Amino acid sequence: SAAEKGGYDYFMLKEIAEQPKAVADTLLGRIDASGSLTLDELRIPHGVLREAQKVVIVACGTAFHAGLIAKYAIEHWTRIPCEVELASEFRYRDPILDQRTLVIAISQSGETMDTLMALRHAREQGAKVLAICNTNGSTIPRESDAVLYTHAGPEVAVASTKAFLTQLVACYLVALYLGQVRGTKWGDEIRAVIRDLSQIAGEVDRVLETMEPVRELARSLSRKNTVLFLGRHVGYPVALEGALKLKELAYMHAEGFAAGELKHGPIALIENDLPVVIVVPSPRSRSVLHDKIVSNIQEIRARGARTIVIAEEGDEAVEPYADHLIRIPATPALLQPLVATVPLQVFACELATARGNEVDQPRNLAKSVTVE
Ligand code: AGP
């Protein structure tokens, strides 16, 4: 009913709008007055966290994209090697697991069969499993050794939005906590990022306030057949997520690429007026990558691409090459996905609407996939 949708036309719009609160709720009570993380709720002995030699993340779809981003954070802040794998592929390749492997299973619903089977396999091999989940008492957290709940509230639309942002927050918390417990050389940076995280809900809110041009752009592209997405570093999984949203909602051919791979093949796809969305890393903290991606934008534009550039406020270098410029607030490099994903969600939702698609219930899809 309209009341359930809180005055929005679709659950998806409501859930996109709820993201600042979802992010804030997921942080609530997990940062103490001194600015340290308190995740005692995990009830995993510190000894186990200190001795873990490998982290393996398993998940599907959007949750898998959160896992891809988590890898950058975990390896940077903890120096523990981290692998990310599609849950549906995991157990069939005889993965190497033991008591010193920490497996993280990410799932909004907690009922995804592929993810459940992956975590069962991991536990059989003696690994400890931590679930990151949005649904209290669901099967995946019940069968795990520990759980960190995301507090997004119920997500009804099939396309995941607020659950994704809170999965990211939970992954950052786990990465920072592991860093804190193990005491890495990044102590100062970890404390600074924890401070920045507590400001991030306000930044997500600011992004939401500037989305009208994105909606307008989406409507103007409603008759296109293909949209490509490019990113680097944590912007690469963001590009994959932008493409997945467009597939499921707009039923358009959409693909995400690591921008550095362009020259190894995908650049052959570029043709006149092809829309390409580029997620640009911050010029402050990742200046080499920033410069490289600016050259990519230049290259594809010279070949006729219509460039839709998502870049940090104050990044002037992209201006000459952006046919459309979407600004996002400056954040620490690893946290950028929390703000960069939001315009892509709005873009896909508006394109779906413009194409007359059912936004909350896309064809052929179910909210939770309980078969393998
Ligand atoms: C996201 O928009 C999708 N509908 C889908 O990829 C989803 O993220 C995936 O099926 C995993 O679901 P889960 O988080 O409930 O395990």
Instruction: Specify whether the CB–CB gap between 148 and 174 falls below 8 A.
Output: yes
Please tell me the distance from the alpha carbon of residue 254 to that of residue 252, in angstroms, as a whole number: 6
DSSP state of 281: P
Please tell me the distance from the alpha carbon of residue 38 to that of residue 371, in angstroms, as a whole number: 36
Confidence category of residue 202, pLDDT binned at 50, 70, 90 = very high
Q: Is any ligand 1 atom within 6 A of the Cβ of residue 160?
A: yes
Query: In this structure, which residue's CA is closest to atom 10 in ligand 1?
Result: 61
Q: What is the pLDDT of residues 58-103, one digit of tens each?
A: 999 999 999 999 999 999 999 999 999 999 999 999 999 999 999 9
Residue 285 has pLDDT above 90, yes or no: no
Q: What is the pLDDT of residues 348-366, one digit of tens each?
A: 999 999 999 999 999 999 9
pLDDT of residue 330: 96
List strand residue ranges (DSSP E) for 232-358, in order: 253-258, 275-279, 306-312, 324-328
For residue 30, report the distance from its CA to the centre of ligand 1, in Å.
25
For residue 13, report the distance from its CA to the centre of ligand 1, in Å.
17
What is the pairing mode between strands 128-133 and 54-59? unpaired
Q: Is any ligand 1 atom within 6 A of the Cβ of residue 226?
A: no
Secondary structure of residue 210 in the 3-state scheme: coil
Please tell me the distance from the alpha carbon of residue 60 to that of residue 182, in angstroms, as a whole number: 29
The best mutation among 85, 112, 249 to test binding of ligand 1, ranked by most ligand atoms within 8 Å of the C-beta, falls on: 112
pLDDT of residue 307: 98
pLDDT of residue 308: 98
For residue 61, report the distance from its CA to the centre of ligand 1, in Å.
5
Secondary structure of residue 153 in the 3-state scheme: coil
DSSP state of 91: G
Share of the chain above pLDDT 90, in %: 90
pLDDT of residue 73: 96
Give the amino acid at 195: R
How does the average pLDDT of the chain come out, rounded?
Answer: 95
Please tell me the distance from the alpha carbon of residue 369 to that of residue 365, in angstroms, as a whole number: 9
Residue 44 has pLDDT above 90, yes or no: no
* Residue 93: other Cβ atoms inside 10 A: 8
For residue 166, report the distance from its CA to the centre of ligand 1, in Å.
13
DSSP state of 31: B
Which of 90-94, 213-217, 310-314 is predicted with the least confidence, judged by mean pLDDT? 90-94
Q: Is any ligand 1 atom within 6 A of the Cβ of residue 134?
A: no
Which of 32-41, 62-71, 112-121 is predicted with the least confidence, judged by mean pLDDT? 32-41
Residue 343 has pLDDT above 90, yes or no: yes
pLDDT of residue 173: 97
For residue 164, report the distance from its CA to the centre of ligand 1, in Å.
9
Ligand 1 atom at minimal distance to the Cα of residue 109? 15
Instruction: Specify whether the CB–CB gap between 270 and 302 falls below 8 A.
Output: no
Task: Tell me the backbone φ, ψ of residue 161, rounded to 5 degrees.
Answer: -130, -75
Mean pLDDT computed over 182-201:
88
pLDDT of residue 354: 97
* Residue 257: other Cβ atoms inside 10 A: 23
For residue 47, report the distance from its CA to the centre of ligand 1, in Å.
33
The best mutation among 15, 88, 160 to test binding of ligand 1, ranked by most ligand atoms within 8 Å of the C-beta, falls on: 160
Please tell me the distance from the alpha carbon of residue 17 to that of residue 47, in angstroms, as a whole number: 40
Radius of gyration of the chain (CA): 20
Q: What is the pLDDT of residues 2-17, one digit of tens each?
A: 778 999 999 999 999 9
**Helix residue ranges per DSSP H, 183-234:** 187-197, 200-208, 212-220
pLDDT of residue 190: 87
Q: Would you say the ipTM is above 0.85?
A: yes
Q: Is any ligand 1 atom within 6 A of the Cβ of residue 108?
A: yes
Query: In this structure, which residue's CA is closest to atom 4 in ligand 1?
Result: 159
* Residue 270: other Cβ atoms inside 10 A: 17
Instruction: Specify whether the CB–CB gap between 104 and 174 falls below 8 A.
Output: yes
Ligand 1 atom at minimal distance to the Cα of residue 159? 2
Mean pLDDT computed over 181-205:
90
Ligand 1 atom at minimal distance to the Cα of residue 167? 14
The pTM of the whole model exceeds 0.90: yes
Please tell me the distance from the alpha carbon of residue 109 to that of residue 7, in angstroms, as a whole number: 25
Confidence category of residue 227, pLDDT binned at 50, 70, 90 = very high
Ligand 1 atom at minimal distance to the Cα of residue 115? 16
Q: Among this protein's residues, is 367 annotated catalytic?
A: yes
